[in-house]
Every structure is written in C-alpha cells, then in structure tokens.
Chain A
Amino acid sequence: NAGVTQTPKFRVLKTGQSMTLLCAQDMNHEYMYWYRQDPGMGLRLIHYSVGEGTTAKGEVPDGYNVSRLKKQNFLLGLESAAPSQTSVYFCASSYDRIYEQYFGPGTRLTVT
C-alpha cells in the first residue's frame, strides 16, 4: 500500500498563475483533507471531504477550491496564486471523522 501520495512535491509559481495539487489514497477512506503548514502556525485546515462528490470549507478556504470526483482522489486548486499562499500543503485521509488521519509527504509551494 502506498498510503497517501501527493503530486507534485515541489512547485514554484508566479503571482496570478494557477495550479492543481493532487492527492491520492489507497486505503478506501471516506474522509480526505487539505491542510497548509506555516512556521509557528501549526496545521490549518483548508477544505475537506466526507465522501465522493462532497466538499466542505475548513478554517482557511479563501483562494482555494477542491474537488472529489473519485473516492480515492482529492484535488486542491489555486486559481490565481498569491505570495501569501507560499506554504507546505499536506493532504490527509481517515476512515471516519474522529479517527486517526494519515498524511501524505507534502507539497512545498512557493509563489513569487
């Protein structure tokens, strides 16, 4: 089992460019999450999904969109990147809302 995988691992964008981050999990989990990690801020939830075809906003959703067309994939989109979106992005999945989350390796995004 690969667990949770994320692509790409690194990306540099110019302000205003768009991109999509892909998260895939092979554990048949219903719940999937996107977080951003910034120094001294811990992990903050951007969006999450409780099942295929569903999405919901987290703590810091502005400037991001998500889609969950297939149960195993959860996409995070930036339509017009801003320097404030420079961060490390982690995807996670879990069997249920209250259970342990499994994390991917992260994507380091720099917006110049």
Chain B
Amino acid sequence: AQSVSQHNHHVILSEAASLELGCNYSYGGTVNLFWYVQYPGQHLQLLLKYFSGDPLVKGIKGFEAEFIKSKFSFNLRKPSVQWSDTAEYFCAVIEGLSGYSTLTFGKGTMLLVSP
C-alpha cells in the first residue's frame, strides 16, 4: 500500500515569509497528486492538483507545487504567506493506473501565520 509523508506537523511563520511544505509518497508508478487545505472549522478544499504535463503547477491563492518524480516529492510553496493562510494542509496521492486504488492522505501540516 502506498504511503504519504508530510515532514512537518506544525509550521509557524510570520506574515510575508516564504513557505515550503514537504510531501513524499512511496509509489513508483504513475500517480495523481493533490494538495488540500482545511481552514479552521471548515471542510477540505482543493488547492491544486497534478495529473501530467508541466511538473510545476499553480493553484489558488498564490500557491504552487512542484512534482519531482525522481524524488517522489510534491512540495507546496508560496512566496509570501498571509495571516489568512493559517490552516491545515494535506497532501494526497492516488495511483493513476490501478483501477482499485484509493486516495491516500498525509497526516497534515498545521500552518500558523502570525501577523
């Protein structure tokens, strides 16, 4: 079974700092990759996704992520965070070709942005 690892459980940044959240997965074949965000008290929303093509994908609210196949990584970045980015961030992976696999989530990274 595939696994997803998010390296940081908690990250604290000041406004305007740059953000990079790590995500690594275990499956070596074709994968579809996602980053979801959960704002306090809310449900998960999609930030961005990668299926194929340009490994640098841009999402909503200025977020982007880079797929590096050789490193099995899909790290999330934002050049300058805002207080409103305080949330929990989840990386998720699904095997692209298997007809039976399901989405696997990482354990999440809680981001706190101080004003």
Inside 8 A of A97's CB, which chain B residues have their CB? Answer: 94, 99, 101-102
In contact, B43 and A100 (Cβ under 8 angstroms): no
A-B contact count (CB 8 A): 43
**Nearest CB on B from A91, distance (A):** 9
In contact, B43 and A43 (Cβ under 8 angstroms): no
In whole angstroms, what is the CA distance A33 to B36 when docked? 16
Inside 8 A of B16's CB, which chain A residues have their CB? Answer: none
Inside 8 A of B9's CB, which chain A residues have their CB? Answer: 40
Encode A76-112 as 1/0 by CB contact (under 8 A) with B: 0000000000000010100001101101111000000
Encode A37-80 as 1/0 by CB contact (under 8 A) with B: 00011111100100000000010000000000000000000000
Within the complex, which residue of A41, A48, A104, A105 is in contact with B102, where a contact is CB–CB below 8 Å? A48
In whole angstroms, what is the CA distance A97 to B104 when docked? 12
Of all chain A residues, the one with the shortest Cβ separation from B91 is A42
Within the complex, which residue of A33, A43, A92, A105 is in contact with B42, where a contact is CB–CB below 8 Å? A105
A90-B44, A106-B43 known; A101+B90 contact, CB < 8 A: no
In whole angstroms, what is the CA distance A17 to B49 when docked? 40
Supply 28 A–B pairs (Cβ within 8 Å), ascending by A: A33-B102, A33-B103, A40-B9, A40-B108, A42-B90, A42-B107, A42-B108, A43-B44, A43-B90, A48-B102, A90-B43, A90-B44, A92-B44, A97-B101, A97-B102, A98-B32, A98-B51, A98-B94, A98-B96, A100-B34, A100-B46, A100-B49, A101-B46, A103-B36, A103-B43, A103-B44, A104-B43, A106-B43
Residues of A whose CB lies within 8 Å of any CB of B are 33, 40-45, 48, 58, 90, 92, 97-98, 100-101, 103-106
